[in-house]
């Protein structure tokens, strides 16, 4: 097999895009199988050299695939304006949005226009979340992307009737994979680090959506078992947070924040 690193991209042709896409799909399948084997290893509670070696080999192949995708896949950049030309709240146009402007102007809006999120914006959000830091770079989480109307309806029901979830054209569900982190960090990895991995990625996605002029509201109140059934998530995968994303139908209001003197305790 020819090493992919020996080749440079020659353009944005369909055949090259498909090779990158196929690598991403294969990486996802490897990640799923690796997580399943990791769960099996944890459940046995005994040394299994052959199984551990198989997991390590799958991880190595997955890392090579990630290197390939990261090297050749065009990385989308977030423009200052949304895909339909909408400016970020409070902006007057000009140079690319500053991260502090995005953080300052981000609003949680629960009413969305009946307009889909453009594929380029969707890809930019996904690329941002996968670059989020994680404990030991284990990336002990998965993301379910939902655009189907009927599934969004089931997600809204699982979220205790928060109907705006069904109205969002794009919903990302962030799930922890405790066994993946437990393999390296034991109980603390399973109970804490995997949760942190998933929620950090969710925060990155939320800010990326804001940078694109979209609204993204974080939803944490839902029945995890009903959510798992709606998404048919694998056993051992724990839904933690939803991000309802779309073009805002109304302007969000700034909410009050605690004073820094009340929030921060300095040790100097």
Query: Using one digit for the tens of pLDDT, what is the confidence trace for 214-232?
Result: 999 999 889 888 988 899 8
Tell me, yes or no, whether 244 and 142 share the same domain: yes
pLDDT at 41: 67
User: Pick from 41, 56, 74: which residue ends a domain?
Assistant: 74
User: Pick from 25, 49, 74: which residue ends a domain?
Assistant: 74
Tell me, yes or no, whether 117 and 3 share the same domain: no
Q: What is the domain count for the chain?
A: 2
User: Pick from 41, 74, 107: which residue ends a domain?
Assistant: 74
Q: Would the pTM count as exceeding 0.85?
A: no
Mean pLDDT of the chain: 78
State the residue range of the domain holding 264.
Answer: 79-268
pLDDT at 106: 82
Tell me, yes or no, whether 60 and 86 share the same domain: no
Higher-confidence position of 94 and 186: 186
Round the CA-based radius of gyration of the chain to a whole number and report it: 20
How far apart are the C-alpha atoms of 146 and 156, rounded to whole Å?
12
Instruction: Please answer whether residues 170 and 183 qualify as being in contact, where contact means their C-beta atoms are separated by less than 8 angstroms.
Output: no
Residues 114, 166, 141, 125, Cα dihedral to 10°: 10
């Amino acid at each position: 097999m020819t090493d992919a690193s020996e080749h440079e991209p020659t353009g944005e042709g369909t055949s090259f895009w498909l090779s990158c896409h196929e690598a991403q799909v294969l990486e996802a399948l490897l990640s799923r199988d690796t997580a399943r084997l990791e769960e099996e290893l944890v459940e046995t509670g005994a040394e299994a050299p052959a199984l551990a070696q198989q997991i390590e080999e799958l991880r190595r192949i997955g890392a090579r695939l990630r290197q390939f995708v990261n090297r050749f896949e065009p990385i989308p950049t977030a423009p200052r304006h949304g895909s339909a030309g909408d400016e970020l709240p409070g902006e007057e146009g000009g140079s690319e949005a500053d991260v502090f402007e995005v953080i300052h102007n981000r609003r949680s809006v629960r009413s969305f226009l009946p307009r889909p999120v453009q594929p380029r914006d969707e890809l930019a959000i996904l690329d941002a979340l996968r670059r989020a830091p994680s404990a030991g770079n284990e990336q002990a989480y998965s993301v379910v992307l939902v655009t189907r109307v009927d599934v969004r309806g089931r997600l809204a029901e699982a979220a205790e009737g928060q109907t705006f979830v069904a109205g969002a054209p794009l919903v990302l569900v962030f799930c922890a994979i405790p066994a993946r982190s437990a393999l390296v960090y034991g109980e603390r990895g399973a109970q804490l680090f995997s949760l942190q991995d998933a929620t950090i990625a969710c925060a990155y996605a939320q800010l990326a959506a804001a940078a694109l002029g979209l609204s993204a509201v974080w939803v944490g109140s839902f029945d995890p078992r009903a959510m798992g059934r709606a998404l048919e998530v694998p056993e051992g995968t724990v839904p933690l947070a939803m991000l309802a994303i779309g073009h805002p139908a109304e302007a969000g209001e700034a909410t009050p924040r605690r004073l820094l003197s009340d929030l921060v305790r300095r040790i100097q």
